[in-house]
Chains A and B, each alone.
Chain A
């Protein structure tokens, strides 16, 4: 197929499409392998050793909530110095920062979820140490590792375009061995060729879907065969379920209390054996060293922090409340649209088996579309249609958000609809609920918890997406980059245009505060309220 495209499109770079495909796929596979190795080993460490867990989990929780953009200055600082190899490495590091977490948290969840009637017998005949890991933990986490790796794979494709086309201080950096992400970005930003962009986008989607159906389905099927079923009620094939699990752990780890954690950590430390102590101390020191190095290396004095607040994009800080309002407004509009459409589709799927039969395959294909890759293509199309770049970007931004947010809503709602117990449906039939009554009394209450978890996830991903969607990198050296006013675009300016790390970190902090307070004041309350509706599957 790649060769087919090569023959039809006339750009010199397109000639390398097979090579670029190969390098992107292998890049993601390499990162995936690293992520699995890292996620499994650290996940086991964090789930079995309390001291390690107290240090690792909050730290990793922090890292995973930083959008990929937050890693740019660090990665660039460390790796660009190494030349071409450094750029390749930094792309992998960037991909890793968006792929690794789901495996880590999946492993922790799976280990915590090993049922007592498996743990107890193992302990009763003295299974400890490496034997316990080999005979109990490793088989028990296999399904979680596979579904986490699948999620990471999709995340990798999602962020590929951001990782392979790095803009920094007006300079565009792409990996020397090329890649599909940088090719698509070039086609859309530099050549502004909508046809080529769409063909490339379809090609990427095809590859992702192809691998999803070929590799992942086979793997998940293998892992969910009879052997595991009686123990793990978590349905492996439903992505929506993974979403629920993800939302749960988001809330769970969010509850972490920092100062308390440290006092407990020091208490625990006294109880552990020498080796465990050494490992923990080395780990703690290396983390502390890393932080210190980073802080001291980059902001040795108060002066530099002040400098960061007086350099270019800082003058816009005065409008910060307005910018936040703009961004929140876009998110809210996109959220309401996705909510209404997703509930409508979910209810339709619940009521009509035939419509459901159409929706469920959407799972597989839709999951494969790297939405971030749509951005340049969508903008290009809308801009040619409308002609006013700003309006086009505004529209693109909201459409991107809807596409991104609706997905999580839809997946969660569909899997909830799928899981309405037959008994509940039968009760409805027995009492003769029909039409609207049936929807309000049976369907909606059954999917309420999923609507909340879907909302949490969609706002989470929305924040991640809006940082890209409010800002259009410059399409040519002469044209200044285009943006719509908002918190996200300010972040981008600080990061891409001016390389103002101080401001970038400050703004990321503001994003974190908004996200966390929404979580604490809105989502957790709703989730608690709807807990009673939750159907144990």
Chain B
């Protein structure tokens, strides 16, 4: 049964002079316990799509269903992790995690307890009273993850969560995220991640959905059937073949778009 259904989403942004079509007729669904990665070149609207799923943006047409119910505004059942962490700079790590818990109406003692528990889970014990400014990028993202998970959501959306971190830190956090995904004691088990790093997507996802450049369309889908944990299989030909397959679809769609725009220019002149 699918948890998230994206149906015919179309979105355009209006600037002063022109309209930019960002998403065109995007449809896919994500099942229970599934880890899906959206990959595509920058500016293909994948972040916008994620925001529509989160209820932060409204599509021009089409809809997003969460367990059959349309998503029109943010809900605690769908949480999000941001590329630039999105921590409030005037609140400590603990206060940052506590804030969404206050919104859903938890008492002071209760939310302190829950927030501490999740900070410990992401390995930040002892940093509860540190301000974001004094945390490293990796630690900030750990706070971001703890904040999202503390709401006990069913779906976790991640917008390029590792792209502003150095490779070593990213590697550690990828493992942390996968551990959380597989942890049977946590209710959060449907993950949708946006990335422009194909290796990362193939390493983490069950399924990679590939999007074309502007306007964003789904141009392909690759099922990743490498057994988990995948650290052991990073040298396998199967891994490289799947990476190549994704890259090939990406390049084909890029070439097609370029040819199209070239045709348009030729026609104009």
Chain A positions near chain B (C-beta within 8 angstroms): 117-118, 120-127, 131, 135-136, 139-140, 142, 226-231
Choose one: B86, B100, B134; the contact of A126 (CB below 8 Å).
B100
Asked if B103 and A124 sit within 8 Å, CB to CB, the answer is: no
- Report the minimum CB–CB distance from B242 to chain A (whole Å): 32
The answer to the question of B102 belonging to the interface, with a C-beta cut-off of 8 Å to chain A, is yes
Which B96-142 residues sit within 8 Å CB-CB of chain A? 99-100, 102-104, 131-134
> In the complex, which residues of chain B have a beta carbon less than 8 angstroms from the beta carbon of A125?
74, 76, 79, 99-100, 103, 147, 151
Asked if B74 and A228 sit within 8 Å, CB to CB, the answer is: no
Asked if A120 and B89 sit within 8 Å, CB to CB, the answer is: no
- Report the minimum CB–CB distance from A431 to chain B (whole Å): 34
Choose one: A117, A127, A227, A229; the contact of B103 (CB below 8 Å).
A127
Choose one: A124, A131, A136, A229; the contact of B102 (CB below 8 Å).
A131
The answer to the question of B90 belonging to the interface, with a C-beta cut-off of 8 Å to chain A, is yes
- Report the minimum CB–CB distance from A79 to chain B (whole Å): 41
> In the complex, which residues of chain B have a beta carbon less than 8 angstroms from the beta carbon of A126?
73-76, 100, 103-104
The answer to the question of B192 belonging to the interface, with a C-beta cut-off of 8 Å to chain A, is no
Asked if B90 and A121 sit within 8 Å, CB to CB, the answer is: no
- Report the minimum CB–CB distance from A497 to chain B (whole Å): 51
Given contacts A124-B79, A126-B74, contact A228 B90 (CB under 8 A): yes
> In the complex, which residues of chain B have a beta carbon less than 8 angstroms from the beta carbon of A139?
88, 90-91
Given contacts A131-B103, A230-B133, contact A123 B88 (CB under 8 A): no
Complex Cα spacing A226 to B90, Å = 9
Residue of A with least CB distance to B78: A124
> In the complex, which residues of chain B have a beta carbon less than 8 angstroms from the beta carbon of A117?
82-86
> In the complex, which residues of chain B have a beta carbon less than 8 angstroms from the beta carbon of A135?
88, 91, 99
Asked if A231 and B89 sit within 8 Å, CB to CB, the answer is: yes
Given contacts A125-B100, A125-B103, contact A120 B86 (CB under 8 A): yes
For the residues of B in contact with A, the DSSP-based class is loop
The answer to the question of B54 belonging to the interface, with a C-beta cut-off of 8 Å to chain A, is yes
Residue of B with least CB distance to A121: B86
Choose one: A122, A123, A226; the contact of B133 (CB below 8 Å).
A226
The answer to the question of B56 belonging to the interface, with a C-beta cut-off of 8 Å to chain A, is yes
Given contacts A226-B131, A226-B134, A227-B131, contact A118 B88 (CB under 8 A): yes
Residue of B with least CB distance to A117: B84
The answer to the question of B80 belonging to the interface, with a C-beta cut-off of 8 Å to chain A, is yes
> In the complex, which residues of chain A have a beta carbon less than 8 angstroms from the beta carbon of B131?
226-227
Seed contacts A121-B86, A127-B100, A228-B89; 15 additional CB < 8 Å A-B pairs:
A118-B86, A120-B51, A120-B56, A123-B56, A124-B79, A126-B73, A126-B75, A126-B76, A126-B100, A131-B102, A139-B88, A139-B90, A226-B133, A229-B89, A230-B132
- Report the minimum CB–CB distance from B22 to chain A (whole Å): 16
Asked if A229 and B88 sit within 8 Å, CB to CB, the answer is: no
Complex Cα spacing A122 to B96, Å = 10
Q: Could you say which of B56, B75, B91, B103 has the most chain A C-beta atoms within 10 Å of its C-beta?
A: B103
> In the complex, which residues of chain B have a beta carbon less than 8 angstroms from the beta carbon of A142?
90
> In the complex, which residues of chain A have a beta carbon less than 8 angstroms from the beta carbon of B79?
124-125
Residue of B with least CB distance to A139: B90
- Report the minimum CB–CB distance from A137 to chain B (whole Å): 11
Complex Cα spacing A124 to B88, Å = 13
Complex Cα spacing A227 to B134, Å = 9
- Report the minimum CB–CB distance from B95 to chain A (whole Å): 9
Residue of B with least CB distance to A140: B90
Chain B positions near chain A (C-beta within 8 angstroms): 51, 54-56, 73-76, 79-80, 82-91, 99-100, 102-104, 131-134, 144, 147, 151
Residue of B with least CB distance to A128: B103
- Report the minimum CB–CB distance from A230 to chain B (whole Å): 6
Asked if A124 and B89 sit within 8 Å, CB to CB, the answer is: no
Asked if B134 and A123 sit within 8 Å, CB to CB, the answer is: no
Choose one: B73, B82, B151; the contact of A120 (CB below 8 Å).
B82
> In the complex, which residues of chain A have a beta carbon less than 8 angstroms from the beta carbon of B89?
118, 227-231
CB<8 Å pairs between A and B, sample of 5: A117-B82, A120-B56, A121-B87, A123-B56, A125-B103
Complex Cα spacing A225 to B240, Å = 48
> In the complex, which residues of chain A have a beta carbon less than 8 angstroms from the beta carbon of B134?
226
| 5 A-B pairs with the lowest CB-CB distances in the bound complex, closest first | A121-B86, A125-B100, A226-B133, A139-B90, A117-B84
> In the complex, which residues of chain A have a beta carbon less than 8 angstroms from the beta carbon of B104?
126
Complex Cα spacing A124 to B89, Å = 17
Asked if B88 and A122 sit within 8 Å, CB to CB, the answer is: yes
Complex Cα spacing A121 to B83, Å = 11
Given contacts A126-B100, A131-B102, A226-B131, contact A121 B82 (CB under 8 A): yes
Complex Cα spacing A228 to B87, Å = 12
Complex Cα spacing A230 to B134, Å = 10
Residue of A with least CB distance to B92: A227
Given contacts A121-B86, A226-B134, contact A127 B99 (CB under 8 A): yes
> In the complex, which residues of chain B have a beta carbon less than 8 angstroms from the beta carbon of A226?
131, 133-134
> In the complex, which residues of chain B have a beta carbon less than 8 angstroms from the beta carbon of A131?
102-103
Residue of A with least CB distance to B80: A124
Complex Cα spacing A230 to B91, Å = 13
Complex Cα spacing A228 to B82, Å = 19
- Report the minimum CB–CB distance from A10 to chain B (whole Å): 55
Q: Could you say which of A118, A124, A139 has the most chain B C-beta atoms within 10 Å of its C-beta?
A: A124
> In the complex, which residues of chain A have a beta carbon less than 8 angstroms from the beta carbon of B102?
131
> In the complex, which residues of chain A have a beta carbon less than 8 angstroms from the beta carbon of B83?
117
> In the complex, which residues of chain B have a beta carbon less than 8 angstroms from the beta carbon of A140?
90
Complex Cα spacing A226 to B91, Å = 11
- Report the minimum CB–CB distance from A258 to chain B (whole Å): 21
- Report the minimum CB–CB distance from A327 to chain B (whole Å): 39
Complex Cα spacing A37 to B91, Å = 24
Asked if B133 and A124 sit within 8 Å, CB to CB, the answer is: no
Complex Cα spacing A227 to B87, Å = 11
Choose one: B55, B73, B76, B80; the contact of A121 (CB below 8 Å).
B80
Complex Cα spacing A118 to B99, Å = 13
Asked if B56 and A124 sit within 8 Å, CB to CB, the answer is: yes
Choose one: B74, B90, B132; the contact of A123 (CB below 8 Å).
B74
- Report the minimum CB–CB distance from B75 to chain A (whole Å): 8
Complex Cα spacing A139 to B99, Å = 14
Complex Cα spacing A72 to B103, Å = 49
Asked if B74 and A124 sit within 8 Å, CB to CB, the answer is: yes
Complex Cα spacing A458 to B91, Å = 39
Complex Cα spacing A140 to B89, Å = 9
- Report the minimum CB–CB distance from A223 to chain B (whole Å): 10
> In the complex, which residues of chain A have a beta carbon less than 8 angstroms from the beta carbon of B54?
124
> In the complex, which residues of chain A have a beta carbon less than 8 angstroms from the beta carbon of B86?
117-118, 120-121
Residue of A with least CB distance to B144: A121
